């Protein structure tokens, strides 16, 4: 296990971005999976006494099993995870749930409803025989490193709407629903005593975020909500541990995007043409640029203008965009 020295002004600068479990404070940890691109998600752990709470499982059984082994070896009190929180319904945050099915699994009501939407077997079949051309390339980029065989979707056993206060031993943990934004039921997990917030995919640190649900205004509000918590340490859904500055960047990205897309939509461009035409300015260096296709489509929808909303069409367009077609 990698352990970072404690300090009062947050640990974002001292938590190395290496694969594995990192201690962020007293009983709070992040499990990181570089490089944070498609499917390489982060998880979290809160432990107090014999009580433990895991924030998210991973994309497949092998990765989740490795994470649980690492946790058991490093933190004996977390040998049997008592509570799991799924931040949202994307597979890279919940498809390892069957390995912690003895735990109470908590998610928002909207997350639970969304979770069965994409059967893992469908993804397994897609990876086994990807389509020809750019779409096949994108499928390999997004999912090629993972093994979707044997995954059974295990939905939350406890659901909530709005907010839910938990206690892990003597540690207060606040679950705050901020979706729909990235997905229908996004939840963030705040540990006030340690100044740590796990954002799920409300924060992608380093890469473009991707709007599957929207509206974008909700995502901006979600960033404001995180900032208002005043937590010095922020564990994003993907990318290195950071602080509030990266949340501000994420918020400003969406404001910039909205301001840039609106005149193009009003001028009659299609969403894909607007995505090609955009000047990303300060956000030009971000990875997973193909996600812009989904994000521009989301802004169009928010403006009441026609744009694709289904994942299949968006993936097709992202593949073409990534290939420069
Ligand atoms: Zn994710």
Tell me how far the alpha carbon of residue 89 lies from the centroid of ligand 1, in angstroms: 9
Rounded-to-integer distance, Cα 138 and Cα 51, Å: 41
Tell me how far the alpha carbon of residue 147 lies from the centroid of ligand 1, in angstroms: 16
Tell me how far the alpha carbon of residue 199 lies from the centroid of ligand 1, in angstroms: 11
Tokens of 278: 């955009």
- The pLDDT value given to residue 22: 98
* Mean of the per-residue pLDDT values of the chain: 94
DSSP 118: S
Inform me whether the pLDDT recorded for 7 exceeds 50. no
Q: Strand 43-48's sheet: what is its strand order?
A: 2-3, 20-25, 28-32, 43-48, 51-55, 83-85, 104-108, 158-160
For residue 35, cis peptide bond before it (omega within 30 degrees of 0): yes
Side-chain-side CA neighbours of residue 61 (13 Å): 12
Rounded-to-integer distance, Cα 71 and Cα 57, Å: 12
Q: By percentage, how much of the chain surpasses pLDDT 70? A: 96
Tell me how far the alpha carbon of residue 201 lies from the centroid of ligand 1, in angstroms: 5
| 127-136, 195-204, 303-312: which is most confident | 195-204
Rounded-to-integer distance, Cα 64 and Cα 59, Å: 7
Inform me whether the pLDDT recorded for 10 exceeds 80. no
Tell me how far the alpha carbon of residue 292 lies from the centroid of ligand 1, in angstroms: 16
Rounded-to-integer distance, Cα 133 and Cα 155, Å: 34
- The pLDDT value given to residue 6: 41
Quick one: pLDDT band at residue 325, thresholds 50, 70, 90? low
Inform me whether the pLDDT recorded for 79 exceeds 50. yes
Tell me how far the alpha carbon of residue 58 lies from the centroid of ligand 1, in angstroms: 9
Confirm if 37 and 288 have CB atoms less than 8 A apart.
yes
- The pLDDT value given to residue 4: 42
Tell me how far the alpha carbon of residue 268 lies from the centroid of ligand 1, in angstroms: 33
Rounded-to-integer distance, Cα 161 and Cα 174, Å: 13
- The pLDDT value given to residue 13: 55
Instruction: Tell me the pLDDT tens digit for each residue of 90-134.
Output: 999 999 999 999 999 999 999 999 999 989 999 999 889 988 888
- The pLDDT value given to residue 312: 83
Rounded-to-integer distance, Cα 128 and Cα 27, Å: 41
CA angle 46/52/57 to nearest 5° reads 75
Task: Report DSSP letters for 49-97, one per residue.
Answer: TTEEEEE---SSHHHHHHHHHHHHHH-GGGSS--EEE-SSSSGGGTTTG
Give every CB contact of residue 321 below 8 A, 6+ residues apart in sequence. 272, 275, 276, 290, 292, 293
Tell me how far the alpha carbon of residue 263 lies from the centroid of ligand 1, in angstroms: 30
Least confident span in 14-28, 281-295, 305-319? 305-319
Confirm if 113 and 165 have CB atoms less than 8 A apart.
no
Task: Report DSSP letters for 182-249, one per residue.
Answer: SSTT-EEEEEGGGTEEE-GGG-BSSB----SS--HHHHHHHHHHHHHHT-SEEE-SBS--B-HHHHHH
Quick one: pLDDT band at residue 68, thresholds 50, 70, 90? very high
Tokens of 321: 């965009």
Tally Cβ neighbours within 10 Å of residue 313: 14
Instruction: Tell me the pLDDT tens digit for each residue of 235-256.
Output: 999 999 999 999 999 999 999 9
The model carries a pTM of: 0.95
């Amino acid at each position: 296990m990698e352990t970072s020295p404690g300090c009062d002004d947050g640990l974002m600068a001292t938590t190395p971005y290496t694969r594995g479990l990192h201690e962020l404070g007293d009983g709070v940890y992040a499990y990181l999976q570089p490089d944070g691109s498609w499917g390489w998600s982060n998880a979290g752990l809160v432990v107090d006494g014999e009580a433990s709470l895991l924030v998210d499982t991973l994309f497949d059984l092998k990765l989740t099993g490795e994470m649980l082994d690492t946790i058991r070896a490093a933190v004996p009190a977390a040998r049997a995870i008592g509570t799991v929180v799924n931040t949202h319904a994307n597979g890279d945050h919940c498809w390892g749930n069957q390995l912690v099915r003895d735990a109470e699994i908590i998610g928002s009501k909207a997350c639970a409803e969304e979770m069965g939407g994409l059967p893992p077997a469908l993804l397994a079949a897609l990876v086994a025989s990807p389509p020809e051309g750019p779409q096949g390339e994108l499928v390999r980029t997004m999912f090629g490193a993972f093994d979707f065989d044997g995954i059974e979707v295990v939905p939350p056993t406890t659901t909530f709407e709005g907010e839910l206060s938990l206690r892990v031993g003597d540690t207060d943990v606040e679950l705050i629903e901020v979706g729909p934004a990235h997905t229908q039921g996004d939840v963030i997990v705040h540990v006030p005593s340690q100044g740590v917030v796990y954002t799920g995919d409300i924060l992608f640190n380093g890469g473009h975020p991707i709007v599957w649900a929207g509206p974008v205004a909700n995502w901006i509000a979600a960033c404001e909500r995180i900032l208002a918590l005043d937590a010095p340490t922020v564990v994003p859904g993907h990318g290195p541990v950071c602080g509030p500055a990266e949340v501000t960047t994420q918020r400003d990205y969406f404001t910039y995007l909205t301001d840039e897309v609106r005149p193009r939509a009003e001028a009659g461009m299609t969403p894909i043409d607007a995505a090609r035409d955009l000047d990303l300015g300060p956000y030009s260096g971000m990875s997973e640029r193909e996600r812009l296709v989904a994000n521009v489509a989301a802004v169009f929808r928010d403006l009441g203008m026609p744009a694709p909303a289904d994942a299949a069409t968006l993936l097709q367009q992202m593949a073409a965009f990534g290939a420069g077609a």
